[in-house]
Amino acid sequence: MRSNRAKVRAGVSMAATLPMIAGALALGIPAAQAADSPARDVLKGSKPLWATAKADKGAASNGAQVKARVYLAGKDAAGLAAYAKAVSDPNSPAYGKFLSAKKAEARFGATKAQVSAVKSWLKASGLEVTEVTAHYVTVSGDVAAAEKAFGTQLHNFAKGSKTYRAPAQTASVPAGLRGAVLTVTGLDNAPHKSSHHDQLPPPDAVFKNAGPFSSYYGSNIASTLPDAYGHKIPYAVKGYTGKQLRAAYGAGTYTGKHVRVAITDAYASPTIAFDAGKYAQKNGDAAWKTGQLHQVLPKNYTKTEECGAAGWYGEETLDVEAVHAVAPNADVTYVGAASCYDDDLLDSLSKIVDNHLADIVSNSWGDIEANQTPDLAAAYDQVFQLGAVQGIGFYFSSGDNGDEVANTGTKQVDTPANSAWVTAVGGTSLAVGKGDTYQWETGWGTEKATLSPDGKSWNGFPGAYTSGAGGGTSKTVPQPYYQKNVVPKALATANNAAGNRVVPDIAAIADPNTGFLVGQTQTFPDGSEKYSQYRIGGTSLAAPVIAAVQALAQEARDGKALGFANPAIYAKYGKKGVFHDVTDNPTGSGLAVARLDFANGFDAADGLLTSVRSLGKDSSLSAVTGYDDVTGVGSPANGYVQSYRKH
């Protein structure tokens, strides 16, 4: 079999060559060069890092099926990145000179000739073209045809306890297509999917919090429970609402009027309109206006069981209600993906960019960096850059597993939050006191200890690490210019002497122990479906809160889009009153809250579980004075929104 495949790769018939020559001529490449040059254009990053010689299990079957996406580079990939940087940098003469979606497509999109050449090459290789969009060409076929098209052998490789197919060498395209193809995804068949970043059980079955609660931080002290850190501690809050969060993050009189915010997740809650309306009514938020909440959904959903579709309903509910709570007059568009796989999530992001559905995009999902292959990273970055030139900013939650060691055994960051073209949002524990006054924040990181049987102590206090804001230093993404001179050198160079991207950029409330009250229709044990409220957290909360704060800032800027926000955020670092500089132990006395939880997640029938949750204990990550890898530059202070006002 191997010798046959080698012959297929080596021998290209004249019939197969002619369409490639025609495509090359359409791109302005001389016929002689197109026909005679054996050189190929390498697609860097198309071979996964896990496809090593040690993991190689031999050739994949010739007849195995491949479904791949060939992403189009467009007219001027380098020019796109350069312009995206220029319009986002406050120090650039081009700052804020955004393009319309139509002009961005005309200036940087793929030409008809490029698309035609790519299709001809793929068909000549024996692959079937199944879909063509402005961004990619989808093909299907067998392994032999894919090998012929991309100039590589496909082998089986061990990845963890499983085996997946992947290129044995970096993929390439004919030299005649140089500059037309950005990358190819799908040559490896490892699952490329994301999970939502929140802290709750799947909400298809009812989940409720047990009391007692604090109505604001510290309002109800657990006087009958043991001390923690030498003093009595409060019960966890019932869940903050919009009024408290607006006060904590300096909303003032701004409401996000005339600003468009988009939210992406997978699938779509069938009760979102009812739940969001009910929540606003019950918790003092402005009523939703007719046409203020929109949904853009795919024709069909896939992989619903594998992705836990119902678990994503709570994510959408949290995101929509949090944005409205903080920016009650912002226009909200929910864009649901057909599944939790990267291809479908990328399609959702592209819908927003291609149709300029919003200026601000909240995304509360992701995966560990080790699972993102460079080809996918390139596809994501292209969408983010196309958004940047239009004035669209993307905000991604940084993850809920701290440094990821407890979760994966390896210290790493999450993705796409690691992209240099998005704003990564970290998490805090937030104390809002009496009269909606901001007291303090810590970096979100939780250690949990349970109550001893005699009720007189906490078992193994402070207990085991449970969750915390994602952060740290990327192993794959170089340090972006805007982080230089702000991010400490020790963090930037942790994985590379030249410096790499550090996550996050900014932070907001995330700790479920100081979390947000959310309302959702849930299925109760008797089978009935009813609206119910519960407290929730995770950087899934932080991302929409920051997106909403950005909507307030855009309103303060007379509606002028903020675009890709990182250069402006880092430019404001160190200015008085703009950020809360979040540290792990702001009171100096140790911080914790007491929690009582239903053992069955619903009622007291199976008893209550009592625990103490320490705050500011985020695995190996630390919130310290200045920039840190838990909260970035900090959280928005009273002067943040005001800092965007035009003077």
Residue 255 main-chain phi, psi, to 5 deg: -130, 0
Q: Which two tokens stand for residue 24?
A: 């090359």
Q: What is the pTM of this model?
A: 0.91
Return the beta strands (E) in 488-643 as ranges: 500-503, 506-509, 516-523, 529-536, 579-580, 592-598, 608-614, 635-636
Res. 6: pLDDT tops 80: no
Q: Is the pLDDT of residue 623 over 80?
A: yes
Across all residues in the chain, what is the average pLDDT? 92
The mean pLDDT of 147-153, rounded to a whole number, is: 96
What's the whole-number mean pLDDT along residues 554-564? Answer: 98
| Beta-ladder partners of 507 | 426
* pLDDT > 80? residue 556: yes
pLDDT surpasses 80 at 38: no
Give the model confidence (pLDDT) of 479-516 as tens digits.
999 999 999 999 999 999 999 999 999 999 999 999 99
pLDDT in tens, 308-336: 998 899 999 999 999 999 999 999 999 99
47 against 35, higher pLDDT: 47
pLDDT at 257 (0 to 100): 98
19, 159 in Cβ contact below 8 A?
no
200-642 CATH, one of 3.40.50.150, 3.40.50.200, 3.90.1170.50, 3.30.70.360 = 3.40.50.200
Please tell me the total number of residues recorded for the chain in this structure: 647
Judged against a pLDDT cut of 90, whether residue 11 lies above it is answered with no
Cα first-last separation, the chain: 72
pLDDT tens track for 46-74: 999 999 999 999 999 999 999 999 999 99
- Is the pLDDT at 30 greater than 60, yes or no? no
Residue 65, amino acid: Q
Give yes or no for a contact between 402 and 408, defined as CB atoms under 8 angstroms apart.
no
Per-residue confidence (pLDDT) for residue 1, from 0 to 100: 31
DSSP string, 175-225: GGGTTTEEEEE-SS-S--B-EE---S--TTB-----S--BSSTTSSB-TTS
Displacement of CA 422 from its chain's centroid (Å): 9
Enumerate residues 6+ apart whose C-beta is below 8 A from 508.
Answer: 249, 425, 427, 428, 430, 541, 542, 545, 546, 549, 635, 636
pLDDT tens digits for range 196-238: 876 444 456 678 899 999 999 999 999 999 999 999 999 999 9
| Average pLDDT estimate for 462-482 | 97
pLDDT, mean of residues 92-114: 96
pLDDT given at position 204: 60
Segment 382-386 mean pLDDT: 98
What's the pLDDT at 523? 87
What DSSP designation does 334 have? E
Q: Using an 8 Å Cβ cutoff, are 536 and 199 in contact?
A: yes
**Dist CA 394 CA 127 (whole Å):** 35
Expressed in percent and rounded to 5, the helix, strand and coil fractions of the chain are 30, 25, 45
What does the pLDDT read at residue 31?
33
Tokens of 272: 């979102």
H or E element in which residue 261 lies: strand 260-266
pLDDT of 111 reads 95
Percent of the chain with pLDDT over 70: 93
409 DSSP assignment? S
Structure tokens at 403: 């440094």
Q: What is the pLDDT of residue 487?
A: 98
Greatest Cα pair distance in the chain: 87
**Residue 647 predicted with pLDDT over 70:** no
The answer, yes or no, to whether residue 35 has pLDDT greater than 70, is no
Domain boundaries, the chain: 2-74+110-185, 200-642
Share of the chain above pLDDT 90, in %: 87
Query: How much is the pLDDT for 528?
Result: 87
The pLDDT value recorded for residue 624 is 98
Q: Which helix (H) or strand (E) holds 166?
A: strand 162-167
Question: Looking at per-residue confidence, does 196 or 546 come out higher?
Answer: 546
The pLDDT of residue 198 is 63
The DSSP bridge pattern shows strands 423-432 and 393-397 to be parallel
pLDDT reported for residue 22: 38
